[in-house]
Amino acid sequence: MAKSALLKSSIAKKYWMAFTGLFLCLFLAGHLAGNLQLLVPNNALNFNKYALFMTTNPAVKILSYVTYLSILFHAVDGFLLTYQNIKARPVGYAKSNPSANSSFSSRNMAVLGTLILVFIVTHMVNFWAKMHFDQNIPLQTITVEVMGQKQELYLMTNDGYMATSQVAKTKEEAAKSGAQVYIKNRTEFYNTQADVKVGEGYKDLYKITVAFFKDPKYGLIATILYVVAMGVLAFHLLHGFQSAFQSIGLNSSTWIPKIKLFGKLFAIIVPILFAIIPVYIHFILK
């Protein structure tokens, strides 16, 4: 009996909300550390190397699956809780004065959470899906001057180079144009004649990101929506961070003030740092 109670009772649902919520806070911190590399000048290669690591390293893969599951569980559990809470008061009050006893964030966690979910989905379509599935994902190139002539080169993961002029997008194209190398499986360079792999390029997530926020038509609105979403996240965390500790039963007079302070700082600083990045890309980055 005790075991099944851990899945369906009201308090058990709170534990799950709290654990998944706190795990997502850890995820946010990690994600932020990666994103902040976008603020470093001339850092495209390092950023793309980091992106490659994050999509291929087995340990990170496990973490990412835990993250997907956490988001899913947190959202489903959150909707379930909210549904039950609405049902718990079938007839509402003619007059109520909720601001007299509770904070805006605490009363609107479900709405804030739903907005975050919408953001996460669009965010994944814009970046995660491109990284994982886009067949025409750009590969990182650099431009060098060779004897007074500008030349574009693909950077390879083995630190080699490959002139873009020699590389065809597909095998068929290579057959037509006579290019020595063609691209297979989105990132792999193949020798056309021998049909053997000669190297691999970096998916240019940096370029995708910059292009997204600098887009002449949609860049500004994307930047604004991103900043708004971070505001929503800030309010969600303003209540959520400390709330999670109450949910799992931690409420000691020595720790709670510290947790509340840390939670406030986390809820304000993390979203601001996230939001600075698209603002920098859209308005400042040349």
Q: Does residue 22 belong to the site contacting ligand HEM (CB under 6 A)?
A: yes
Pairwise CA distance, residues 7 & 60, whole Å: 28
Q: Is 11 in the site for another protein (CB under 8 A)?
A: yes
> Is the Cβ of residue 46 or residue 84 nearer to ligand HEM in the bound state?
84
Please report the sign of the dihedral spanned by the C-alpha atoms of residue 125, residue 126, residue 128, residue 132. positive
Cα end-to-end span (Å), the chain? 62
Look at residue 21 and give the partner it binds from ligand HEM, another protein, none, a contact being a CB closer than 5 to 8 Å depending on partner kind: ligand HEM
Using CB under 8 A as the binding rule, whether residue 5 contacts another protein is answered as: yes
C-beta of 201 vs 271, nearer to ligand HEM: 271
Contact 286, 253 (CB under 8 A): no
**Of residues 68-107, which lie at the interface with another protein (CB under 8 A)?**
81, 84-85, 87-98, 100-103, 106-107
d(CA 259, CA 242): 6
What is the distance between the alpha carbons of residues 141 and 127, in angstroms, rounded to a whole number? 19
Report in angstroms how near the CB of residue 104 gets to ligand HEM at its nearest: 14
CA atoms lying within 13 Å on the CB side of residue 106: 10
Buried b (16+ CB within 10 A) or exposed e, 173-188: ebeeeebbbbbeeebe
Q: Applying CB under 6 A, does 182 fall inside the site for ligand HEM?
A: no
Pick 211 or 261: Cβ nearer another protein? 261
Contact string 94-113 vs ligand HEM (x = CB under 6 A): ---------------xx--x
Under the binding rule (CB under 8 A), the answer on residue 12 touching another protein is yes
Nearest-5° Cα angle at 141, 138 to 146: 150
| Whole-Å CA distances, 140 to 47, 53, 57, 163 | 11, 15, 20, 12
Residues of span 218-237 touching ligand HEM by CB under 6 A: 236
Q: 75 is in the binding site of which of ligand HEM, another protein, none (Cβ under 5 to 8 A by kind)?
A: ligand HEM
Q: Which residues of 63-77 are buried (b: 16+ CB within 10 A; e: fewer)?
A: eeeebeebbeebbeb
Q: Residue 117 interacts with ligand HEM (CB under 6 A)?
A: yes
Work out whether 241 is an interface residue with ligand HEM (CB under 6 A). yes
Q: Site mask, another protein, residues 191-220, x = CB under 8 A?
A: ------------------------------
Q: Is the CA virtual torsion 268, 46, 285, 223 positive or negative?
A: negative
Strands (E), 62-214: 141-146, 149-155, 161-163, 167-168, 181-184, 188-191, 197-200
Binding partner selected for residue 259 from ligand HEM, another protein, none, CB under the kind-specific 5 to 8 Å limit: none
Report the C-alpha gap between 211 and 222 in whole angstroms: 11
Task: List residues binding another protein (CB under 8 A).
Answer: 1-3, 5-6, 9-15, 81, 84-85, 87-98, 100-103, 106-107, 109, 239, 243, 246-251
Task: List residues binding ligand HEM (CB under 6 A).
Answer: 14, 17-18, 21-22, 24-25, 28, 71, 74-75, 78, 81-82, 109-110, 113-114, 116-117, 120, 236, 240-241, 243-244, 247
